[in-house]
Structure formats: C-alpha cells, structure tokens
Structure 1
Amino acid sequence: MLLKTFRWAFAFTALGLALGVLYDGWTALGIVAILVVLEVSLSFDNAVVNAGILKKLNAFWQRIFLTIGVLIAVFGMRLAFPVVIVAITAGLNPYDAVHLALTDKDRYQQLVTDAHPAIAAFGGMFLLMIFLDFIFEDRDIQWLRWIERPLARLGKVDMLSTCLALVVLLVTSFTFAAHAHQHGGTHVDKAQTVLFSGIAGLVTYLVVDGLSGFFENRLEEEEEEEKRAGQGERAEQEERAELEKTPNARTGGSRTGVGLAGQAAFFTFLYLEVLDASFSFDGVIGAFAITNDIVLMALGLGIGAMYVRSLTVYLVRQGTLDDYVYLEHGAHYAIGALAVILMVSIQYQINDVVTGLVGVVLIGWSFWSSVRRNRALARAEQGSEPAAPSRVP
C-alpha cells in the first residue's frame, strides 16, 4: 500500500532532482531537497485536513485529486502563482513577469515579498474560517473538552464565525497592516490592501464552502429518496415472490456509502484546491529565504506537494482518521495557529521553523491523545468481558 500510494511521488522526486542538477549543477540538488522538506513540514496538517474531506468523495474524484489536482498544485500554485502576483502588483503583463523572474531574480523576490501582506490576509482569513467553523461545531468526539464544549455552545449563534473573522480582519488592518513589513526592512501602511484581500479570502470561503454544502445536502436528499424507493421495490418484489413461490431475484439499492459525485464532488474538489492554495502561501514566501530562483523553487515545492497529496490519499485508504480520532482536531488547531501566524507576519518576520514546529507539535499531541484513548477503550472492553465459565464435575 505504501509503495503503491507514493510511487508517483518517488518518481517525481527522481525526475525533479535530476532536472535540478541539469539546470544548476549539484548545488541545486541540495536546494531542491531543502525545499521539499520545507513544504512537507509546513503542509503536514494540510494532508490531515484534506484526508477528512477527501474520504467523502468517490474513487473517481479521488483520482482527479491525485492527478489534475497535483498539476494545479505543482504548476499552478508553486510556479504560476508567484508570477501572477508579481504581474498584478507590479502592473506587468505575464510575459514581462516571467522574464523578470528569470533574468532579475532580486527584483522578482522584492516584488513577491512586497505582495506578502495581501497574500497573508487572503490565506489567513480563509484558514481562519476553516478553523472557526470546525471549533464552533458540536461534535460527538471532543479532544480538548474544556475548550471545545463551551465553544460548541457558542456556535449555536448564527454567523458567529464570520463575525469573529471580520473582527480579526479589522484589528489586523489597523494594527499589523499599518506597519507592514516590506523588502529591505522598511514598513509601509497596507491597511486598505489587507482589508480588501482579507474580505476576498472570506468571500471565497463562503462561496466555495456554501456551494459544496448545498450540493452535498441535495445529493443526500436524492440518496434518501432512492433508498426509500428501493425499500418499496424490495417489499413489492418479496410480496410477489411469496405469492408466486419463486425466489426473489432482484433487489433495490442505493448509492449510500459510495461517496460524493457530480456537482457536490466538483465543489468539494474546488474547496480542496483553494484550501491547498491557502496552505501553499507561507511555503512560497518562505522559500525565498532559501532561493529566489523560480525554477528551483517550483521543483522543490512541487515535489513536496506530491508527497502531501500522496499522504492525503494514504490516510484515506488506511482509515487513519477513523483509528486516531483526534488527528483531525489537531490539524484544525494547527490551521488556526497558521492563520494567526499569517496575520502577524504582515508586520513581523516569523521563521518557518516556528511555523512548522507549531503544526508538528499540535498534530503529534493529538496523535498521542488518540493512542491513549484507544488503549483506554481496549482496557475497558477487556474489563467488561464476562469471565469464562468454570468446569463443573
């Protein structure tokens, strides 16, 4: 299972490292390898969250996520996205932006760094909404009950997560954005830019999540209707078979358990792609601390994205989230921490090691809590088993 799931990631790794050596010699090999580790460490929580969503999709859309989705993640977000940002912020056409990235790498890095406040606001608000909607939902399984139980009660208030996210955006706009960090260590007022980008991130989340939920609910209603129709058909056939004294050869059925398909699956896939984009923002910006070569950056981050996608599929196929029930909680807490870090990074530079360690610690903690829970349940089951009957002479 491990080799089968990660075979494309291994193949892409060999190809990417070879292309790096051909492009810029053996020094590029080390740079690409470092970027791979950076991307995987920053996006491990992304894989856990994606797995929780991907398991709702049917096998066809899971393959789409691992094929077309990878192309979007590798060539769209890791290669084209920084160029598009430079083209928009600098008022350049796409050709000039690509030419700048290849010929004047220092200027290209400066433009991407200067666009960081807008990028951080968009991604931070999108991730913050994911965290808030998760933490305000009343769940049967709770990890940190002293936090999640009162927040679940507060979550009964309509639009609470949206209102809280807007408050965070306003505070960020008039504090961190007023002294946004720019290339060269200077600070400028980016309040209007951050406010606009943050609202764009919030609206994107509401639209994509709303459409995904709408079509998912409609699909569930159709499945319920098919299920009722199938039950009625089975009852009619059983009655006919009983009258005719012949075996019932045909029974009805439903698609329940097959997974989302159609429009519901499409918008869920779209939601996954926007989520991956939000996670990739900090990786793209952080990669400039290692290199400002767009080719090496695309190779390293692209290989890392392949491993994250493969890890997502592996978690789904192994049922890891069902076995370790707190992993999803830990990943969402890591999302909330990343959203806060993105907002703070508008003014202050935060080392990527800190960002990566926060996610690793939270997910590791939730994994250990899941292991302890499983052990406690196993001991409880053993203690509740009836004793074996003694032999009576």
Structure 2
Amino acid sequence: MAKYFVVPFLSLIVGLISAAWMTWNNTADIGLVLQMVLTVALLCVLEISLSFDNAVVNATVLKRMDAVWKRRFLTWGIAIAVFGMRFIFPLAIVSIIAHVSLYESLVMSLSKPEEYAQMMLDAHLAVSAFGGAFLLMVFLNYFFSEDKEVHWIGFFEKPAAKMSAFQSIELIIAIGVLMGIYASLPTEDGMTFLVSYLWGIMTYLIVHGISGVLEGGHLSHIKFFSSGFGLFLYLEVLDASFSFDGVVGAFAISNQLVIIMIGLGVGAFFVRGITLYLVEKETLNQFKFLEHGAFYALGVLALFMLLDTFFHFPEWVTALTGACILGTSILWSIYENRKGAAQ
C-alpha cells in the first residue's frame, strides 16, 4: 500500500517546505510561517475529504482504460489538476469577472489578495451552478442505466433502472431542477444561475457524446482518438467539477493563491494515489456497494452545490456527509459478503 502514497507524501513535504520558505522570505515572521504551514495542511485535508468520493468514481472509469491512457491520466491528469484547476482556474474566474487579462488577474492575486479572494467568493453562484449541473447529470446517468444490475437501495435503484427506457429521462429531471431553482431566484441571480447551469449540462452532453463516439470505435483509425482519450476527457471534466466547490471554498480559509494551490495540489496527489490503489487492488470488486456509495455522495455534493444559492453548506458538512455515505456502503458490502459466505 505504501508505494501508492510515496509521491503524495513527498509532495506534502515539498509543499510544506515551499510554503514555509516563501512566507519566511517575505515576512521573516516565524508565527506567520507556522500559520501558513498549518493552512497548507488544512487545505490538503479539505481536498482529500471532499474528493474521496471523486477517487472512487475515478476508479470506476479508470478500470475501463488501457494501460497507456491510465498512465496518461495519472501524469498529464495530475498536472491539469494541480496547475489547471488550482491555479489557472481561479485566475480565469477573476479575469472574466473583472474583464482583465490572466496576467493582470495574477498581479491582483499577489498585490490585492483580499480583493481577489472576495471576487472569487462572489463567483460562487456561477461556479456552483455549472459544477452542480454537471455532477447531477453524472449521478442521474449512473442510476438511470439499464446496464446496472447490482442494486444497493433497491426501492430507488430498481425503478430507476426500468425508467431508463424513457428516453432522455436524465435531461428531463435536470431541466426540472433548473426550472424549480430558477423560479425561486431574483432576476439577476436567476440569469447567472440559468446560464451557468445550462453550460454545465451542455458540457456533460458534449463530453459524454465524444466519449460514446470514441468508445464505439468510430474514430479508431486515428491513433490518438482511442476510447481511452474519450474516457480521459470525461475524467478531466468530472475531476474539475468535483474541484469547483473546494477551490472556491478554499478562499474562505486563505486569500493567498499560491498557498491554496500548494495545499489543494498536495491533496490532489493523495486523491490520485487513492484512485490508483482502488484500481490495482480491485477494491470495487471487494466492496460491491462502494461504487454506489460514491455516486450517492456525488449526488449529494451536486445537491449542496445547487442549493448553495439559498444556503451555504460549510465544507466540513459536505465532507462529513460524503464520508458517512461511503462508510455505510463499505459496511453494507462487508455485511453482504459475510452473509453470502455463510449461505
């Protein structure tokens, strides 16, 4: 097990040293150095706790990829996760809101961290609507699937599998959720939510469609466009959607962009390690309801993100809820395994 977490622990050590060195170099204050080190550790724990269900969902997709694309996801994917989502994404958000370049956004994050952090928090509605819509579609697509044979919560999952014959049932439910929330919002917030939510659905449909085309072998004559590329693309967007809430929420803990990138980036390394462990140890086969639990946790995360419009759920609530669902699915799997062995 240790081999899966060698790189994550090395990244943690490097991250803590980097945060301490930068803070000391700028302030020469040992108190601030300790504060930044603790902040990095807290952000790392936040990322892991919010993204454990992400690791399980990633594992369900990763096990279908060939060795080449699996390796690319664990190398290219981590670069995108750390530098793309934890650094470029916050810069892009402020760049769009303030109508400035990415460079000017970077300068603002360094020279006016309080103002920068507030702009990130102000963008929470649009970010949550986009990420919530995408994750909601992923949740609905999993449970409204005729191919799903193993059921955990039968009174919901069995009817849902049968309803999959109703074409576009997932999209109908997602649009229904949109209409319900939009009708309850003031005009300005409603339009922001509407546009972002629709972009979330459109992104899911595009990525899911591309993945389906590639898995069907329609572009197999083009070497790069294998089914693995479609799954890679799907995983990256899924990974990004999981990260939205954590990235924006991190600005409530610290207004230092570099510190946030280090803390969440280290957490992303640990999530990758957990994903690889789950795939190679075939943990999903040992705990047959763990996959179900991860998608239920994903659905709850989507719900929290969408309801954030009315009430902000603290990150610890989101993390604890997901952990409870996953823990219950593991215990239930153990119970079923023992019952099967006894029979």
SS of corresponding position for 1:189: helix
1:49 is aligned to 57
1:338 is aligned to 301
1:250 is aligned to none
Question: Structure 2 matches for 1:305-324, cutoff 5 A?
Answer: 305-324=268-287
CA distance in 1, matches of 2:164, 2:77: 33
Question: Structure 2 matches for 1:38-77, cutoff 5 A?
Answer: 38-77=46-85
1:304 is aligned to 267
CA distance in 2, matches of 1:294, 1:221: 41
**How many positions carry a matched residue from both structures?**
332
| Partners of 1:173 and 1:191 within 8 A in 2 | yes
| Partners of 2:62 and 2:70 within 8 A in 1 | yes
1:366 is aligned to 329
CA distance in 2, matches of 1:262, 1:339: 30
| Partners of 1:331 and 1:363 within 8 A in 2 | yes
Q: Structure 1, residues 309-353: CA drift from partner, whole Å, max 9, x if none?
A: 111111000000011110010000011101110011123221111
| Partners of 1:57 and 1:261 within 8 A in 2 | no
The answer to whether 1:105 aligns with 2:113 is yes
CA distance in 2, matches of 1:7, 1:273: 23
1:86 is aligned to 94
Q: Structure 1, residues 27-85: CA drift from partner, whole Å, max 9, x if none?
A: 21100000000000000000000000000011111111111100000010011101100
CA distance in 1, matches of 2:196, 2:220: 36
1:157 is aligned to 166
Q: CA deviation at 1:286?
A: 1.4
Q: TM-score, normalised on structure 2? A: 0.93
Residue of 295, 316, 319 corresponding to 1:356: 319
The answer to whether 1:347 aligns with 2:299 is no
Q: CA deviation at 1:13?
A: 0.9
Judged with a 3 Å threshold, the aligned counterparts in structure 2 of structure 1 residues 193 and 220 are, in CA distance, closer, same or farther, namely closer
Q: CA deviation at 1:23?
A: 1.3
| Partners of 1:215 and 1:263 within 8 A in 2 | yes
CA distance in 2, matches of 1:367, 1:201: 31
Moved over 3 A (4+): 219-222
CA distance in 2, matches of 1:11, 1:272: 25
Unaligned ranges ≥5, structure 1: 179-187, 223-259, 381-393
CA distance in 2, matches of 1:220, 1:80: 31
Q: CA deviation at 1:193?
A: 1.3
The worse-fitting range, judged by mean Cα deviation, of 326-335 and 22-31 is: 22-31
Question: Structure 2 matches for 1:116-127, cutoff 5 A?
Answer: 116-127=124-135
2:26 is aligned to none
Q: CA deviation at 1:3?
A: 2.2
SS of corresponding position for 2:150: coil
Q: CA deviation at 1:262?
A: 4.5
Question: Structure 2 matches for 1:1-393, cutoff 5 A?
Answer: 2-24=1-23, 25-138=33-146, 139-175=148-184, 177-178=185-186, 189-218=188-217, 262-380=225-343
CA distance in 2, matches of 1:123, 1:193: 13
Letter in 2 for 1:194: F
CA distance in 2, matches of 1:23, 1:346: 36
Q: CA deviation at 1:220?
A: 12
The worse-fitting range, judged by mean Cα deviation, of 30-39 and 149-158 is: 149-158
| Partners of 1:21 and 1:27 within 8 A in 2 | no
CA distance in 2, matches of 1:140, 1:96: 52
CA distance in 1, matches of 2:190, 2:220: 45
2:30 is aligned to none
CA distance in 2, matches of 1:221, 1:154: 32
Judged with a 3 Å threshold, the aligned counterparts in structure 2 of structure 1 residues 14 and 325 are, in CA distance, closer, same or farther, namely same
Question: Which of the pair has more CA radius of gyration?
Answer: 1
Q: Structure 1, residues 330-381: CA drift from partner, whole Å, max 9, x if none?
A: 000011101110011123221111101110011111111110111111112x
> How well do the aligned residues superpose, as a CA RMSD in angstroms?
1.7
Q: CA deviation at 1:219?
A: 7.4
SS of corresponding position for 2:228: helix
* Percent of residue pairs identical: 42
SS of corresponding position for 2:165: coil
| Partners of 1:121 and 1:342 within 8 A in 2 | yes
CA distance in 2, matches of 1:283, 1:9: 19
Q: Structure 1, residues 121-151: CA drift from partner, whole Å, max 9, x if none?
A: 1100000000001111132110000111111
Q: CA deviation at 1:221?
A: 10
CA distance in 1, matches of 2:252, 2:214: 42
Q: TM-score, normalised on structure 1? A: 0.82
CA distance in 1, matches of 2:11, 2:59: 21
| Partners of 1:129 and 1:161 within 8 A in 2 | yes
Q: CA deviation at 1:153?
A: 1.5
